[in-house]
Homo-oligomer: A and B are copies of this chain.
């Protein structure tokens, strides 16, 4: 029997999904900027020629994906990494007892380099393209706990210097948003246990061989485009990485 391959489904797409895609374009294009409000539901309904309920469902999903934040009576806002709630949204390390206190950052290094092959692959660059490498140490109770090596594509982050990093008050991702228009939407982490050695042992003031948590984070912006590779080493004697499963 000659069966012709059925077309891969004529792609039925609900109206609210189309609206959602249009709204994502506004976000990606920077028309709606982090922290600002977007037009009201009724206005969007008029603009897109659909009912308010349909706009509402689109916004519901965008809010569930952390793109937008609803605030009753005030409006719907573009999510940002600068808010209190989401201050360290991506940092899952926390002290074994109570809540974290004074976090201090110390930038060790910030230089422009050719991206090594593995970094280039992760960031979707061509091998040899320019990239920015940042090294820093986070201390959580006057004791160094995190050593991060951060790689960024040089293009979108042109002009990033050690000074701007250390001068900036607030989360690094907020600086990326406001100064470079790059918003981290989500991230994937690969976690391992490794032994401290060389630079990491020295900067965290630990004997070589101390077990450390290795956290490799790939951060993505709109359209799942990778824009940051972060290799963190966490000392977990008095802190732990917290995760929720559901």
Contacts and interface: CB of A to CB of B under 8 A. Distances in A.
Contacts of A188: 242-245
Contacts of A242: 188-191
A90 interface: yes
Max chain B C-beta neighbours (<10 A), residue from A241, A242, A244: A241
Contact of A192 (B189, B217, B241): B241
Looking at chain A's contact residues, the main secondary structure is: strand
A212 B213 contact: no
Given A66-B246, A246-B65, A246-B66, A191 B213 contact: yes
A148 to B, nearest CB: 15
A92 B245 CA distance: 9
Interface residues of A, number: 32
Interface in A58-72: 64-66
Given A92-B245, A193-B211, 15 more contacts: A66-B246, A186-B246, A187-B245, A188-B242, A188-B243, A189-B244, A189-B245, A190-B242, A191-B213, A191-B240, A192-B236, A193-B213, A193-B236, A195-B211, A213-B213
Closest CB pairs A-B (n = 9):
A193-B211, A192-B236, A191-B241, A193-B193, A211-B211, A186-B246, A187-B245, A190-B240, A189-B243
Interface of A: 64-66, 89-90, 92, 185-195, 209, 211-214, 217, 234, 236, 240-246
